[in-house]
Amino acid sequence: MTFANDEGDDPSRVGAASDPLMEGMEQLDTVISFKDGGSGLARELQRAASRSTASRSERNLLQAFRDIASWCDQFSLPKTISDIAKQLYKRSDEEKLLRGKPLDAVIAACIFIACRQAHVPRTFREICTLTHVPKKTLGQCYKALEQAFNLTLGASASRSSLSVGSKAAGPESLLSRYCNHLDLPPNVEPICADIIGKARELGIADGRSPVSIAGGAIYFTCHLLGKVKSARDISTVAGVSEGTIKLVYRLYYAEREKLVKEEWIKDGRAKLERLPVDTTK
């Protein structure tokens, strides 16, 4: 067993593999002054205190990184978003921007911002559903980071980005993800997108959030094409209540003949009689 002397570090000590996101952790060390009359004990105590502080900081940062990676994985987000979120979190931690805020709320805000910077928008509702962070708390953390980092996320980076249903995350942009999670055949998404577009032209379901429109349109389209999914299944994926999904469905059903193209009926893909009148089941 070897020990370091007062002249330098112990060459036998081997550190962990370097991580660019962990660079600068040594700057978080706390130097404590000990006086021992020149015996050398003070320096060893200072080193021990510094190692303890750095170790604790590193552990906290690594835990946050693990949580970010786990949540991004659960949300099927690419690694680039996970990396951006980690960088944002590290900066907020180093600059003590959100001291006193819950860790999960800070992480959730970083993921939300990372999604927008990578042009893979997620709504506040989706992030809240994933992380179980209250919308109000998430909004507070987001605003603090937005101001501190002087973020430029496009026109949607203002208040509109805090609302469920900002233009950056319109209903069509949600379809691919929802349909994939529901394991629907490829022909469902484009027809569903056409129906949403036509409904928009006609002013059907105006004022409803993109999440609820996407969920209701999928419910409508699945019945129309005979690829039925329950409102509960869609609710689980979209993070919106079954009642809201069925409300949008009823609005679409009332105008079904205007929304469904004749060519879909002629080629046998769609049948209006498949659409249920009673959606209470």
Please report the pLDDT score of residue 12 as a whole number: 43
Q: For residue 279, what are its two tokens?
A: 């959606």
Q: Which of 177, 171, 211 is nearest to 194 (CA)?
A: 171
* 34-79 confidence digits (pLDDT tens): 455 555 566 665 665 555 555 677 788 888 899 999 988 888 888 8
Cα 213 to Cα 210: distance, rounded to the nearest angstrom = 5
Cα 124 to Cα 165: distance, rounded to the nearest angstrom = 9
Cα 141 to Cα 99: distance, rounded to the nearest angstrom = 10
Model confidence at 115: pLDDT above 70 = yes
Mark residue 76 as left, alpha or beta (left: phi above 0; alpha: psi -120 to 50; beta: remaining): left
Angstrom CA distances, 5 to 32, 39, 43, 122, stand at 19, 13, 10, 54
* 82-96 confidence digits (pLDDT tens): 888 998 898 888 888
Q: For residue 161, what are its two tokens?
A: 């980005």
Q: Where is average pLDDT lowest: 20-24, 52-56, 114-118, 226-230? A: 20-24
Handedness of CA 141, 137, 155, 80 (dihedral sign): positive
Most confident of 158-167, 206-215, 268-277: 268-277
Please report the pLDDT score of residue 160 as a whole number: 35
Q: For residue 246, what are its two tokens?
A: 């069925």
Higher pLDDT, 130 or 191: 191
- Sequence-distant (6+) residues with CB within 8 A of 254 are none
pTM equals: 0.49
Please report the pLDDT score of residue 96 as a whole number: 84
* 134-187 confidence digits (pLDDT tens): 988 998 898 888 877 766 443 333 333 333 333 345 788 889 889 998 999 999
